[in-house]
Chains A and B, each alone.
Chain A
Amino acid sequence: MALLRVENLQVYYGVIQAVKGISFEVNQGEIVALIGANGAGKTTVLHTVTGLVPAKAGSITFNGVDLMKTPAHKIVSMGMAHVPEGRRIFQELTVYENLQMGAFTRRDKAEIAESLEMVYAHFPRLEERKKQIAGTLSGGEQQMLAIGRALMSKPSIILMDEPSMGLSPLFVSEIFAIIQEINKAGTTVLIVEQNAKKVLSIADRAYVLETGNISMSGNAQDLMNDDAVKKAYLGE
């Protein structure tokens, strides 16, 4: 059974349909990529899954639970974390407080401390800067914080929306390496990326989203070798 299954999802903003009936699934342990041009609807899909944007029709099932009937704030405690587009860290809180917010629904202090260790191990920079006001971090550090904050909920699946946006090439490689590490440690990953080449190189499977429809899907390796994908998304 798929960990996350989205079926025939339709999303509207007013009268404009942004997602036109798409279906996809993410299995336990996978890295699944969602790629597509600007405005294709990738962010909308992720926002609908975590309840920030309401769906018009379709179904979203996570671990057998119907997410369409679950309020947004109840989703994280079910084991789903979301690193939103544009990071959206809490600018006025400190690095440490942001991480605390990531563990907002957890009660076990020892387990939270364990997660904090784990996040600091992935991102030593965050530990160095734990007292710093998050808004004053560099863009790359903010991205680390956004990922770290999501990990603080100890998710079984993590949704990432363009984690490489605005980062220098070296940093992009670092972030992608960390995503692979997180995945190896047992967290399922659903990732949206502009950087198709990079994301296809770490993903197991991928879906190509085109103006609200899924136009292609399959093994990441196969998609990377597909002529249409090469032309449209890999710039070859």
Chain B
Amino acid sequence: MKINEVVSLEFLAQMINGLSLGSIYALIALGYTMVYGICKMLNFAHGDVIMVGAYMLSVAMGMLGLPPVLAILLSMVVCACLGVTIERIAYKPLRNASPLAVLITAIGVSYFLQSSALLIFGSTQRKVESAINVSSVQLGELTIGGNALVTLLLTIVLMTGLTWFINHTMTGKAMLAVSEDKGAAQLMGVNVNRTIATTFLIGSALAAVAGVLFISSYGFVGPYTGAMPGIKAFVAAVLGGIGSVPGAMLGGILLGLIESLSKAYISTQLADAIVFGVLIVVLLVKPTGLLGKKRTEKV
């Protein structure tokens, strides 16, 4: 085998790594961006929903002995309920409050979830068996791991489904309408509270899937498991243009690619710095992010 074949094989493998990592970021980023679009708030507790999803998986599979598919569904349902409950209790009363108050509340909710996990499960990380039992696939000389394969396929399905849902159902259009103008949406008969709840529900269910996928590769879950992927996904959402659904998808995938290629070819230590560097450069050139639109100010 020639040297450049080895290099390109290695490069392809890194690309697949990056795509699957990026898929996870994208799934999380969707929750950030949808909630931002509709409520104009940064839900910093979103990352911790991933952690809850991962714990649920470990409980469902390890303690309840559920099969993986059921465990994933249970984890999605629990996170969806959690997301809706958080919105209802913590954010809804602040609908007309200052953005700073909402931000601080979101950070509070984040600490609350982490501390609750600490109380219930303790500080030591728990080993989680992978929910994905798919053997790797051989494409010529390239091996694609089962985890990466499932992550990629599931993400494609979920993103296609979400895009279809937003653009082709009246509930989806109502979400767009509410994110643009709550008053006008109400005049059309849209129940704004229910639409916002639906947004949290979808975002949190996607976060649960991301949590399951993340933990299936990583293998351990602890109370702070959600923090790092949460921040990365937030960066992805901003990179893609916060409030833009395709932006979150693009931002997530790009971030994953940049991160894994930097780790492979530049430096493991510098990878995160490079990720944030790219964000800064993009924001300098295009402050609204890659696919973000400048919103027309309403008076």
Contact = CB atoms under 8 A, between A and B. Distances in A.
Contacts of B299: 86
A140 interface: no
Nearest to A88: B184
Contact of B190 (A52, A82, A91, A104): A104
Nearest to B174: A104
A105 B174 CA distance: 11
Interface string B164-178: 000000100110110
Contact of A77 (B181, B189, B293, B296): B189
B192 A73 contact: yes
Contact of B176 (A81, A93, A104): A93
B184 A84 contact: yes
A73 B189 contact: yes
B177 A76 contact: no
- Contact-residue bracket for chain B: 20 to 34
A220 B50 CA distance: 64
Contact of B188 (A71, A91, A92, A104): A104
A188 interface: no
Given A100-B170, A100-B173, A74 B189 contact: yes
B183 interface: yes
B189 to A, nearest CB: 4
A153 interface: yes
Among B190, B192, B299, max chain A CB count under 10 A is at B190
A208 B183 CA distance: 26
Interface in A63-114: 71-77, 81-82, 84, 86, 88-93, 97, 100-102, 104-105
Nearest to A103: B188
A139 interface: no
A104 B170 contact: yes
A50 interface: yes
A21 interface: no
B131 to A, nearest CB: 37
A182 B167 CA distance: 31
A135 interface: yes
Given A104-B170, A135-B296, A84 B177 contact: no
Given A101-B173, A104-B189, A153-B189, A91 B296 contact: yes
Given A90-B177, A93-B176, A93-B177, A101 B188 contact: yes
Main secondary structure, interface of B, reads helix
A54 interface: no
Among B177, B184, B299, max chain A CB count under 10 A is at B184
Contacts of A89: 184
Among A73, A75, A89, max chain B CB count under 10 A is at A73
Interface string B190-201: 111000000000
B173 A52 contact: no
A76 B189 contact: yes
A102 to B, nearest CB: 6
Given A91-B296, A104-B170, A135-B296, A72 B177 contact: no
A54 to B, nearest CB: 12
A217 to B, nearest CB: 26
Nearest to B186: A72
Nearest to A150: B187
Going nearest first, the 8 A-B pairs with the smallest beta carbon separation are A105-B189, A88-B184, A72-B186, A76-B189, A104-B188, A104-B189, A73-B186, A101-B188
5 contacts: A76-B189, A81-B187, A86-B299, A93-B180, A104-B190
Given A81-B187, A82-B187, A101-B188, 12 more contacts: A72-B186, A72-B187, A73-B186, A73-B192, A75-B189, A86-B298, A92-B180, A93-B176, A101-B185, A101-B190, A105-B188, A153-B189
